Structure 1
Amino acid sequence: MKYNPLVSVIMPVYNYGHLIKESIDSVLAQTLPDFELIVVNDGSTDNSREIAHSYLDKRIKIINFPENRGCYPAMNAGMRVAKGEYLCVVGSDDINLPKRLEKQYLFLEENKELGMIGSAFQMLNDPLPYYKETDYETIKVLFLRNCYSSHATCMVRTALVQKYDLYYNESYTYSSDYDWQVRALSLFPASNINEIFYQIRMHEQQITKRKGKEQFFFMVQIRMKQLSFFRIKPTESEKALHNSFINGMADCHFDEKLINQWIDKLLEANRVTRYYSQQKLQNFLQAHCNQYIFQMKQT
């Protein structure tokens, strides 16, 4: 009889040989021992492959790509072979604190209505915690602006990933985790635990640093895609207005009157679709309106 672990941890890696050992060790040090760690070596040309293969722990499975395919294809490959009841995707340059898997697993076991749980986090060498909203309806609204929750802090039910074919859209080359979470939130409730379970390492090799402009391009596309939740097909002018407004960056082409008309259109559309909490959406849009008007007065 085959035995499946409680949690599958997927770790894509590309040329992080100088960092991956610390990240793997942080998974092996978890207080919940019943997991599998799937390391997906994305065609590394450094010693990442050798380091991954140096571990004798039977919980570690390794997938080797012969060439570099990209982070999201690597994540998809790991998710498709995952055997755990729950799964999470972690960075090969980041640190999982010892109780991360145990506490998130227990939380999902105790809250069956939730499909996914994230957590607070901090940057390595920075004690400042990044706490996150716990209310599902508020989280959905906050994703209208950007990828609000850190994807690497999330644990999701594997059955839901399989049921909804919830894998990464690889066409969003540098922002697919944003799209993935938006889709997840449209399918099932999620929350965050405001304890720090994860530490993010900032360095020059990160996608955010190396491909910031490209990442922003895809982020804007995902923002526009969310207008489908209102059943709105925006004109090119409305797309530009919405992006400027959500960014809080004043544009001389869009004055306060146009912004308020756009807000009214979004609120009226949501009264029909009821996708977002009307009050939480209104609060969110009003806050952005205030920020936009403030920016206009500064220019």
Structure 2
Amino acid sequence: MVNFKYPKVTVLMPVYNCELYIKEAVESVLNQTFKDFEFLIIDDASTDKTVHIIKSYNDARIQLIKKPVNTGYTNSLNYGLKIAKGEYIARMDGDDISLPERFEKQVAFLDAHPNVILCGTLYQIIGTNKVCDHPLSHNAIKVKLISACYIAHPTVMFQKRILETNRLQYDSVMEPAEDYDLWSRLVFLGELANIGEVLLYYRTHPQQTSIIRSTKQNKVSREVRIRMLTMIDPLFDAEVYSFDLSAQNLNNQFVIKKIKSKIDLFDSLVILNNQREIYDEKLFLNYINQEKKYLYNLYKKKSVTYSLGNIFLGLIKYPDFFKKIGIKETGEIIVKSVFYRMKAGF
């Protein structure tokens, strides 16, 4: 019986019209200090010189798959997951650069921590000194994922078996936040981590999917955040949670009522989380307090444009709300409102 040796890692890189950056991306993978990998490059029917450039490399680890029709990024990812042979899957994009020791350090980390099913790394924005400093520990990542995606997709390496065992893959409906959606599911199946070292250079440019489709990305991200909070309370009011004060141009009394409902919702989530222990108590409380602080500060910023009559009505109906803002700050709101009205000629 023939005993085939599978690679330790599958490097999965979907590409589409990356001719300006693909050379650096490919070479950063081929020049890794860790050598035991297969390199799946799935081209989504590129119309530029991307495929020509990839074909110029003579390396047996490269497996170029050319799709005859453009079917999308998530489709390419899921096809790659299906055919990947590695124990670990390392993600890579066609416009980024992996540092030479990235794979070596991630493999060593995952081998040493079998309870960790996925690890990302810190990364630096190409052309700047900006380093995206994401949380490192599982508990911190778990709470941070409620507010945003704190694991950079092209930096991750994860266990293939965790997806197979749980029949998980990227959800095309959640594109272009398909990675955020997947991490928010995996975080309840095992531990996630970020290595506290820059191991990837990340490129930003106007053609990026996240920039072009930012409106849908924001919508999908909100859905992910709501789902993560339903882990605490499946019946919590998503409509109240989704109230966006920054988008309001309404009378003050209505706004105060909505904010108060949102704050009450936050308080109830803290109580339930303490009982059910879904998220680390201290870290979750800190997250909630930051959300409240944001609401209070935004209210103070916007309130000067509201009528004094509604402010005083709010003081009578919702005194607890203004107590939380503070007596001094409430006084400042009233004074600023007076001057705003005088200046506006009201």
Aligned match for 2:80, one of 59, 78, 81: 78
Work out the percentage of aligned pairs sharing the same amino acid. 29
Q: Which runs of 5+ in 1 are unaligned?
A: none
1:162-211: per-residue Cα shift (whole Å, max 9, x none)? 11222101111211111011111111101111110011111111012211
Give the corresponding residue for 2:58: 56
Counterpart amino acid of residue 76 in structure 1: N
Report the counterpart of residue 259 of structure 1 in structure 2. Answer: 262
Aligned 8 A contact 1:250 1:296 in 2: no
Q: Secondary structure in 2 aligned to 1:182?
A: helix
Counterpart selection for 1:92 from 91, 94, 97: 94
Give, in whole Å, the separation in 1 of the partners of 2:289 and 2:41: 44
- Find out whether 1:274 has 2:274 as its counterpart: no
Query: CA separation in 2, counterparts of 1:276 and 1:134?
Result: 16
Q: Secondary structure at the match of 2:181?
A: helix
Instruction: Decide which of 227, 236, 239 is 1:237's aligned counterpart.
Output: 239
Checking the alignment, whether the CA contact within 8 Å between 1:250 and 1:292 is kept in structure 2 is no
Tell me which of the two structures has the higher relative contact order, counting C-alpha pairs closer than 8 angstroms and 6 or more residues apart: 1
> Quick one: distance in 1 between partners of 2:178 and 2:108?
28
> How far apart are 1:233 and its partner, in Å?
3.0
- SS state at 2:206 partner: coil
Give the 3-state SS of the residue equivalent to 2:242 in structure 1. helix
Higher mean C-alpha displacement, 93-102 vs 215-224? 215-224
Cα distance in 1, alignment partners of residues 220 and 132 from structure 2: 24
**Are the counterparts in 2 of residues 44 and 67 from structure 1 also a CA contact under 8 Å?**
no
Map of 1:1-299 to 2, 5 A cutoff? 1-235=3-237, 237-241=239-243, 244=244, 249=246, 251=248, 253-255=254-256, 256-299=259-302
Contact persistence 1:118–1:153 (CA under 8 A):
yes
Q: Residues 227-275 of structure 1: CA distance to partner in whole angstroms, max 9, x if unpaired? A: 321233344632423xx38xxx475655353232011121233234321
Counterpart residue type for residue 166 of structure 1: L
For residues 235 and 287 of structure 1, the distance between their equivalents in structure 2, rounded to whole angstroms, comes to 20
Please give the per-residue CA displacement for 1:37-67, whole angstroms capped at 9, x wherever unaligned.
1001011111212222222201011221111
TM-score by length of 2: 0.81
User: Distance in 1 between the 2:91 and 2:120 partners?
Assistant: 11
**Matched residue type, 1:152:** P
Tell me how large the CA RMSD over aligned residues is.
1.7
Question: Higher helix proportion, which one?
Answer: 2
CA distance in 1, matches of 2:255, 2:10: 48
Q: Which letter maps to 2:270?
A: L
Name the aligned partner's letter for residue 280 of structure 2.
S
Counterpart-to-counterpart distance in 2, 1:104 and 1:237? 40
Query: Normalising by the residue count of structure 1, what TM-score does the alignment of the two structures yield?
Result: 0.93
| 3-state SS in 2 of match to 1:187 | coil
CA distance in 1 between counterparts of 2:45 and 2:27 reads 21
